[in-house]
Amino acid sequence: MKTKLLFAGTVACAAFSLTSCFESSSTNKGYRAANASATYVAPGEKDEYYLFYSGGHSGQVFVAGIPSMRHITTIPVFSPYSGTGYGYDEESKKMLGQYTWGDVHHPALSQTQSKYDGRWLFVNDNANNRVARIDLRDFKTHQILGPIPNSMGNHGSSFVTENTEYLLVATRFSVPLPKGRVADPNDYPKEFNGMVSAIKVDPQTGNMSVAWQILTPPFDWDLASTGKGPSSGWAFWTSYNSEMAHDVLEVNSTQMDRDYSAIVNWRAAEQAVAQGKAQEMAGVPVLDPAKVPGILYFLPIGKSPHGVDTDPTGKWLAYGGKLQPSVTVVNFEKLKAAIDNKTFSGEVRGIPVVKYEAVVEGEVPVGLGPLHTQFDGVGNAYTSLFIDSNITKWKLPPWSDDERKDMTKTVLDKVPTHYSTGHLVVAGSDTAHPYGKWLVAMNKLSAGRHINVGPSQPESSQLIDITGAKMKMVYETYTEAEPHFAQILKVSDVQPIEAYPKQENHDPNAVWDKAQTGVTRNGNKVEAKVIAIRSRFIPDRIDAQVGDDLTIHVTNVEQTRDMIHGFGVVENNINMVMDPGETKTLHMKVTKPGVFPFYCTNFCSALHQEMQGYLVFANTGQPMPGAVYTNTPGAPQPGPTIPSVDTKGTATESPVPATENPEAGPPIPPASPNAASSASSNASAPASPAESASPQP
């Protein structure tokens, strides 16, 4: 039946152009001036909203503005990003660990009382079972947690509870548990399991930790939504592959008319763990719902559902069954009553299955390929249609008797998209207080609507005005692959800093004055403390020898916004970037001799080109005579040694004395027109703003 519906809809739209299945687009010539005005942000003016796109397999988060839809910045998360030096300094390398890519799908903003609070943005890594926290004070990744134990394929993630008590995440893939155990995929139903995990979030710092988990059958958990209002304390997941197939899933996982939604009482699970009802697996408390009743229920939903979304009141759940032409609307109050009254149609592995007819309010005929639903806070829902390539606007319950008899009357409007819309986002839809106003459709196929860029195609995003009775598409832009979900945050709800205040830099290796800078040697360990300021590094020479462990700490002492400095080392694959007031550290093993320039990679002043220095790497035991090391106050450090020969011809070692870090020379007087060549050969450095302790504006 499902296949027939799918083919029927495809053939119907194939008979015409994709857009001919709908009314004419609001982007025709008569609307262009109004659309341009609605999205125009004049030079010097600012957007009203942030748009945080997931960056898919780029591993990053893209930030744009609404209504302009202009790309503003990229926040690196799970992949190195040389543009900001992410993954090159020691702190970010440690966060990334052994992985050099990730697959970001579902960003989630932190909430307080079901309202965005502007503190953090959480994102998942579908590829390597991780979650990350971005601090919106500086728009940087501050923590990566994972791989999460007992979890494989962190797709049903990251979903924030109404006061950011937890991120709730679930497995896309099931494997033998604990991880590392090997079993034959032919024994999939018996040997494989999935997992729902609760990631605890510290309310003050945002620090994440794995709190507890719930063992599940080996279904493929897809997407989730958390409750609010009457559904507070509950969370809901969709799944596919309730058949528990392990091969040719395109066929074998689509045999049943309905798949199961997981209905999770996370407050009850939290309490069960506190009562000692969990068993430990890989260091995590794991609950078996067959042995701990009341924490997990199943609800049949058709067909291969993708998205589940809770409306702003917390009463209505909208399930998009991607292989059926309708959205299933569940009344949570009926669902809770069915659970309390044990209105079940059976059980799966000891887990009760709630009776479908007891909880479903209705099925809205939105069109072919419904995936995700968003809400505007005034009683309307918006569903993305992958096959039909459109957004359908429909009315939430309560419905009249006439509407219940003919559910097509609940459908209010449709607007074509280009093409094959996956996710969509309405501003604030997952809170109790949506902003409404704008909808962004994230389309999987751009199909040549842009200038030709070859076979690697971008994806399209389309901005839709939802303030009126009829939706109106007003703008289209393109992104790199591959945005999945997004979040929209009002600019006024977050206050990022533009420079790190000096007093907040607690890095023990930060230095703020040239007198604190220098290079020290302790055996084969060389450490440099460097300041960066317009337009020089101090010191601008760092000596080491092959075999040394070299550590360089660079502090950007600027306190002015935009005064960003880089530290790139030629032929050494290094580029650190320090924002104003920030300290970064790199560590390297010196493996080859030579003189390697380092330079500022971020344009910072008219003398940006002059902001450079040298790493001088001598052969082992053969230090350069001009090597400069700074005495540690009260305890001079021994310098490197070089072989020498005594009067008997026996090889001995003599210390190379440490020297003071030299002062910069006096200013060079202006050269006369006929003295340019002699002036250019003068070895003395010009005076630098770093001669004083305070940065220049």
Q: Express each pLDDT in 176-220 by its tens digit.
A: 999 999 999 999 999 999 999 999 999 999 999 999 999 999 999
Average pLDDT over residues 422-443: 97
pLDDT given at position 400: 98
Average pLDDT over residues 232-244: 96
User: Rounded to an integer, what distance in angstroms lies between the CA atom of residue 407 and that of residue 376?
Assistant: 20
Find the CATH number of the domain harbouring 640: 2.60.40.420
* Strand ranges, E, within 411-468: 411-416, 421-426, 438-443, 459-465
**Phi, psi (deg, nearest 5) at residue 600:** -80, 125
Domain that holds residue 636: 502-663
Q: How confident is the model at residue 31 (pLDDT cuts 50, 70, 90)?
A: confident
Q: Is residue 290 part of a domain?
A: no
Reading across the β-sheet that carries 220-226, which strands appear in turn?
Answer: 220-226, 234-240, 259-265, 296-301, 351-354, 344-348
Share of the chain above pLDDT 70, in %: 87
Query: pLDDT per residue over 575-607, tens digit each?
Result: 999 999 999 999 999 999 999 999 999 999 999
User: Rounded to an integer, what distance in angstroms lies between the CA atom of residue 65 and that of residue 593?
Assistant: 48
pLDDT given at position 288: 98
Query: pLDDT per residue over 90-127, tens digit each?
Result: 999 999 999 999 999 999 999 999 999 999 999 999 99
Q: How confident is the model at residue 27 (pLDDT cuts 50, 70, 90)?
A: low
Q: Is residue 312 part of a domain?
A: no
Q: Is residue 305 part of a domain?
A: no
Query: pLDDT per residue over 349-381, tens digit each?
Result: 999 999 999 999 999 999 999 999 999 999 999
Q: How far is CA 266 from CA 199, 244, 296, 641, in A?
A: 11, 25, 9, 64
Q: Give the least confident one: 26-30, 291-295, 361-365.
A: 26-30
Average pLDDT over residues 647-666: 33
pLDDT given at position 631: 53
Q: How confident is the model at residue 519 (pLDDT cuts 50, 70, 90)?
A: very high
At residue 23, does pLDDT exceed 50?
A: no
Query: Mapping DSSP to helix (H, G, I), strand (E, B) and coil, where does residue 356 land?
Result: helix
Q: Is residue 83 part of a domain?
A: no
* Predicted TM-score of the model (pTM): 0.88
User: Rounded to an integer, what distance in angstroms lies between the CA atom of residue 32 and that of residue 40?
Assistant: 12
Give residues with Cβ within 8 angstroms of 607, minimum separation 6: 534, 535
Q: Are the CB atoms for 166 and 200 separated by under 8 Å? A: yes
pLDDT given at position 26: 61
Q: Is residue 548 part of a domain?
A: yes
Q: Is residue 520 part of a domain?
A: yes
Q: Is residue 519 part of a domain?
A: yes
Q: Is residue 621 part of a domain?
A: yes
pLDDT given at position 128: 97
Q: Are the CB atoms for 529 and 517 separated by under 8 Å? A: yes
Read off the amino acid at residue 230: P
**Total domains in the fold of the chain:** 1
Return the closest-CA partner of residue 131 out of 192, 57, 208. Answer: 208
User: Rounded to an integer, what distance in angstroms lies between the CA atom of residue 71 and that of residue 58?
Assistant: 15
Average pLDDT over residues 162-174: 98
Average pLDDT over residues 293-315: 96
